[in-house]
């Protein structure tokens, strides 16, 4: 598991261990958290503390490749490292898979669609991405990673399975990652104004982390896997609706503070998951209000225990 100490990765490691699998984790801890690798369900077999852009050594039955900073705060802080991780890191993982005939699930992103002109977004849509903007290190990096994966598949026959992850949230998100759910939950619990960019009419579709983990496992286990597959929640919410939901569920009395939209911020984001339903038998099950409540509770506990 590359990126196994991260938000989604740690939840996926925990599930695999609970099912009796042996799991090695590769992580450089740029955004990963060490204490998230301590589980009641079992222990990680090996911790490979390294950059995924360095050679990936070891023979495995399957690799989940999740390593890459995924929030604007972190991927824009070191844009060249982000691009290197997304492209060269994926190359290194695929080289390992080519040598050892290993299946790999590659975590791509809805950001490959950019600020989409098609709604909802289907896997056949090529996207509307600014190749020279401040988000392009991540957007184009992930697009480049998909290109490499498909060419390893075509040239070498590597069983590379691309999933495009849409907005995912839940316990263990970093408070400072700049994403809307973590921002709102953290701000509400601190009693600070909730920051809404633009007028709040832009939309996102929010998938709880346990649902996303199930989708990733389905992608690894599927008998037949055809091309990139969207994983996300097709229910669409305006950002201002999410802010109001967080205030209601947290019991907070924060005000809402409006700021200008960041450059190239997508206005609408909603996955078409027809393909995931068809070939993976997967769709999200956790209602957003239930997931937000669980997230707020875990944030509250973490703030009281760790202060981070």
Residue positions annotated with a catalytic role: 138
CA–CA–CA angle 299, 304, 308 (5° rounding):
65
What span, in angstroms and rounded, lies between the C-alpha atoms of 9 and 6? 5
Q: Which residue in 303, 285, 172, 190 sits closest to 246, CA to CA?
A: 190
Report strand pairing: 62-65 vs 203-204.
unpaired
Extended beta strands in 166-306, E state: 168-169, 194-197, 203-204, 207-208, 229-231, 237-238, 256-259
What single DSSP character describes residue 121? Answer: B
Q: How far apart are CA 123 and CA 206, in angstroms?
A: 18
* Token pair of 293 as six digits: 């409540």
Per-residue exposure over 30-64, b if at least 16 CB sit within 10 Å of its own CB, e if not: bbbbeebbebeebebeeebeebbbeebeeebebbb
| Angle (CA) 194 173 89, round 5° | 125
């Amino acid at each position: 598991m590359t990126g196994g100490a991260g938000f989604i990765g740690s939840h996926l490691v925990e599930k695999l261990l609970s099912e009796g699998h042996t799991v090695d984790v590769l992580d450089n801890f740029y955004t990963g958290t060490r204490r998230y690798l301590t589980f009641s369900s079992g222990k990680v077999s090996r911790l490979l503390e390294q950059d995924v852009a360095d050679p990936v050594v070891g023979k495995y039955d399957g690799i989940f490749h999740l390593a890459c900073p995924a929030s604007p705060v972190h991927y824009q802080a070191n844009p060249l490292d982000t691009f290197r991780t997304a492209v060269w890191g994926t190359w290194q993982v695929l080289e390992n898979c080519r040598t050892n005939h290993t299946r790999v699930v590659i975590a791509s992103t809805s950001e490959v669609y950019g600020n989409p002109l098609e709604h909802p977004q289907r896997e056949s849509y090529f996207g509307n991405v600014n190749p020279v903007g401040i988000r392009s290190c991540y957007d184009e990096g992930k697009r480049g990673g998909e290109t490499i994966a498909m060419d390893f598949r075509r040239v070498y026959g590597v069983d590379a399975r691309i999933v495009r992850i849409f907005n995912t949230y839940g316990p263990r998100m970093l408070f400072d990652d700049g994403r809307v759910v973590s921002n709102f939950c953290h701000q509400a619990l601190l009693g600070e104004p909730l920051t809404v960019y633009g007028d709040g009419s832009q939309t996102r579709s929010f998938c709880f982390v346990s649902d996303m983990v199930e989708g990733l496992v389905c992608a690894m286990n599927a008998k037949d896997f055809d091309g990139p597959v969207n994983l996300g929640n097709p229910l669409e919410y305006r950002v201002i609706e999410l802010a109001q939901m967080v205030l209601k569920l947290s019991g907070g009395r924060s005000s809402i503070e409006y700021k200008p939209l960041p450059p190239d911020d997508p206005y609408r984001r909603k996955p078409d998951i027809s393909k995931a339903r068809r070939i993976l038998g997967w769709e999200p099950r956790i209602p957003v209000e239930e997931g937000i409540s669980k997230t707020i509770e875990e944030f509250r506990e973490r703030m009281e225990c760790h202060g981070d």
